[in-house]
Chain A
Amino acid sequence: MTGESVLYTYGIASSGEALPSLEGLVSIDGRASFREVREDRWTAVASEVPAAEFSQEEVDRHSTDLEWLGRLGVRHQRVNEHLSQSTDIIPLRAFTLFSSEEALRGWLQKHSDELERVHARTRGSLEWTLRFEVRGTDWMDETAELAGIRAEIESAPSGKAFLLQKKLEREAERVRDEAEERFIGEMERSISERFGVPAVIESRDTRGGADPQISVLMPRGRGEEFEEWVVRLAEDLRSKNVGVLLTGPWPPYSFAGGVHG
């Protein structure tokens, strides 16, 4: 490797596991070039790529270019999806880079204990993500408090009514946030009681205003059971006008955290 190239890294596997062939897959740079970098206990799957094409500046330049991001994202995902079909890969997020093989080996060595914990937690499991479209449902935005403000508005003079309307909007937002949080908490508890698996909740706030979701780490053999359970859940929630989106199985991206996990 030269100073003009870096190692784009997809994921990490235990060195004890035989990695499948990556023949036929496209590497992140559009070629078909992969390498395994082994450091005792761990083996990383990576591609050598031009540093200039994977600099922060270059990514910044494309950060709102969905076509570019999507193209690279799909390549990254396909590699990890392929690896996760037959191995317990620890997937890395997109754009994880190392300056050299030596740097990557040093990192694997330094973080071996952390990787061991993540590997033990995710071994034999894949990630499923459940997203809930809760906003806009009637059942979550009416409380006695809001009803009281609405009544006040009706009898208030126009100036005060304006202020009360602003107050109503703020309170309604708070009520919806709290109701959504309670709902997501209930869903997480239902999953936990039924399946007893680790889950990661991402609130609307965490997701920058997008719909909240719950990712679960499901043993490979229970994916079908989980799908069937979600189908029944979605049917039940339809009466409340709550939308459910299930995606999976994914490599366990949300469970590859080792610091607080």
Chain B
Amino acid sequence: MAENRDLSLLETLDHLLDRGVVITGEATISVADVDLLYLGLSVVLGNIDAVDRLRLPPSLKKPPGGES
């Protein structure tokens, strides 16, 4: 389901992208327009039926993109 794929992908990025107090390496490259990603996440969630909002656990066991 495309929405689920988008959700997994955005959730993953939401956790991975540097946006706060974290250990940073010698160089941590920043990703611009992170806010857009977060807002994209809200849009995706907004399209999901309320009953479907609670997902336990995330669909990362079957990662988006189908890459093994």
Residues of A within 8 A of B (CB): 9, 24, 26, 54-56, 59-60, 63-64, 66, 69-71, 73-78, 81, 90, 92-99, 103-104, 107, 111, 114-115, 118, 127, 129, 131, 133, 202, 206-211, 227, 230-231, 234, 238, 243-250, 253-254, 256-261
Contact = CB atoms under 8 A, between A and B. Distances in A.
A244 B40 CA distance: 17
A78 B56 contact: no
Contacts of B9: 66, 70, 73-74
Contacts, number: 170
Interface of B: 9-13, 15-42, 45-46, 50, 53-58, 60, 63-65, 67-68
A71 B45 contact: no
B23 A256 contact: yes
Contacts of B65: 70-71, 74
B56 A231 contact: yes
Given A98-B27, A104-B25, 15 more contacts: A60-B32, A64-B32, A77-B16, A93-B16, A93-B18, A93-B28, A94-B18, A111-B23, A118-B23, A208-B36, A230-B54, A243-B50, A245-B54, A246-B56, A247-B55
